[in-house]
Amino acid sequence: MRLKDKVAIVTGGADGIGAAYCRGFANEGAKIVIADAKLESAQQALEEYKRKGVEALGIQMDVSNVNDTLELAKKTVDRFGRIDILVNNAALMRVAKISRNVPFYELDLNEWDRAMAVNVKGPFLCARAVFPYMREQGGGKIINISSGNFFRGGGSVKYPHYVASKGAVIGLTRALARELGEYNINVNCICPGYVLTNWGTDPYRIEFGKIEAAKRCLKRDEYPKDLIGTAIFLACSDSDFITGQTIVVDGGEVML
């Protein structure tokens, strides 16, 4: 088991892609902290892990709230004694509705601010909260989640606030990798493609998934399980000399 006894925080970890990261880490022996804005979903996920004998903690929080992020780190250390892995997965798009195909000059400025608060400020605050503990223990792994949409400029769908926020995540990844390397903290980024999750089962999303699949080298749908291996690799010792990198996991639609 590559993550035996490691402690992993996954924001937005109650369902969808976040839940896939949690399950993958748990299968590799990690202790899991499910940090999610939706308390009921977090509790349901927590019960699943308890039934399987996985040590897990569920915490309701808002990643854009500084006090919530500090409490997340403190509660994790109070329960498990350390923080080895942080996955900044929570984002404003599919869990909370985000405007699409609105001309940028008509976009609600409050929605722009909220997207930046969750998608950019959130990873910054969470990294800031776990840093003292990782520094004290001699290292850690931070995995940020961006999106292939950044490289496509949003593609056929207009949502400039989302695209801009996900580009900022890549910039934040590189800046933190430079700053935290001296503390043996690796900071890397995963860019998923269009992923079919439990949020995307309506006919429109399925049809859109087919359109996206046709653009890939590997012409099939992408599912949360397709991201687990990359996340485990970046979380375990196999990637100890890799930092500041962005890995696109989309079947070959975007090539860096």
The candidate with the shortest Cα–Cα distance to 72, out of 129, 138, 6, 8, is 129
Residues near 175 by beta carbon (within 8 Å), at least 6 away in sequence: none
Q: How far apart are CA 124 and CA 174, in angstroms?
A: 12
Q: How far apart are CA 76 and CA 85, in angstroms?
A: 11
- Is residue 162 annotated as part of the catalytic site, yes or no? yes
Sheet containing 56-60: which strands, arranged edge to edge?
56-60, 31-36, 7-11, 85-88, 140-145, 185-192, 246-249
Looking at 49, 162, 183, 223, which residue is catalytic?
A: 162
Which tokens hold the place of 241? 């000399």
Active-site residue list:
162
